[in-house]
Amino acid sequence: MKNFLTEIRQTLVPDHNGKHGPLPPLLVALTLVTGLVDAFSYLVLGHVFVANMTGNVVLLGFALIGVPGFSILASIIAIASFSVGAIVGGLLGSRLGHRRDQLLGFAASIQAVLITTAVVFAALSGSPVQAGYRYSLIAVLAVAMGIQNAAARKLAVPDLTTTVLTLTITGVAADSSIAGGSGSRSGRRLISVGAMLGGAVVGAALVVHSHIYYPLVIALVVIAGVAASTRGLATPEAPWVRAES
């Protein structure tokens, strides 16, 4: 239990002179964003994810055999747009990977511009969302999340991918004392799960009980905060700023 609580503290309130500095809580914040935008996309844009591509592949399979409520075009647009975003994120990683603060700062800034565009589209689209706005929202949000995922992959903070939780949940169970493991990083892993769950709960509640674009507004505020915090916390001499060779 002591190690578990220590992992939680070190994830949420890390040593800024440590190996990953402030990156863990910033990536937890982006995991929250994933829950928010996927709640919006699945509930508002017609059973499609813009961040979790594993789910989209499954949903595409449903659509291919004609299951009602699932769209082949929506799934393909999401997967293709996410891939475009991942390419952009990969280019940022290639050029800025030596400076982790710049990589995260630029990636989050581009995301903020894209999410701002999505907020405008969602506010103008009405409810239910018209087809033109629907596909535009899927594309813009998926590009934004592809950038986020690629940047998080390059930053390589263990168990904080911001999008994929399958291996995270597997690690919690497989590394537990019940399975004969050490329970390593279960605190951090569960924070990641909780962040995405929290984002999904808040996003769904806002879609159902308020304006549909509110989850995107919150996501925009969080992403803008990540971009600003990254720049504000970075110093050239900080160990976490430089990528490992």
Domains and their CATH numbers in the chain: 2-241 (1.20.1250)
Q: What is the pLDDT of residue 244?
A: 67
Q: Are 89 and 148 in contact (CB under 8 A)?
A: yes
Q: What is the pLDDT of residue 7?
A: 80
Query: Which residue is listed with tokens 């239990």?
Result: 1
The answer for residues whose C-beta is within 8 angstroms of residue 212's C-beta and 6 or more apart is 40, 44, 122, 127, 129, 206
Q: Structure tokens of 224?
A: 């803008």
For 152-196, the pLDDT digits (tens) are: 999 989 888 888 887 778 777 777 667 766 666 678 888 999 999
Quote the DSSP letter at residue 242. Answer: B
Q: What is the pLDDT of residue 76?
A: 97
Q: What is the pLDDT of residue 16?
A: 81
Q: Residue 129: exposed, middle, or buried by beta-carbon count in 10 A (0-12, 13-18, 19+)?
A: buried
Would you say the C-alpha torsion 35, 37, 42, 48 has a positive or negative sign? negative
Cα gap 129→142, rounded to integer Å: 17
Mean pLDDT in consecutive groups of 10 residues from the start of the chain, 245 residues? 77 86 95 97 95 95 95 96 97 92 96 97 89 95 97 91 82 72 73 95 96 96 96 88 74
Cα gap 178→227, rounded to integer Å: 40
Cα gap 136→122, rounded to integer Å: 10
Q: What is the pLDDT of residue 115?
A: 98
Cα gap 49→58, rounded to integer Å: 11
Q: Are 14 and 182 in contact (CB under 8 A)?
A: no
For 17-31, the pLDDT digits (tens) are: 888 999 999 999 999
Q: What is the pLDDT of residue 119?
A: 97
Cα gap 50→84, rounded to integer Å: 12
Question: What is the distance of C-alpha 166 from the center of its chain?
Answer: 14
CB atoms closer than 10 angstroms to residue 225 = 14
The answer for residues whose C-beta is within 8 angstroms of residue 16's C-beta and 6 or more apart is 22, 233, 238, 240
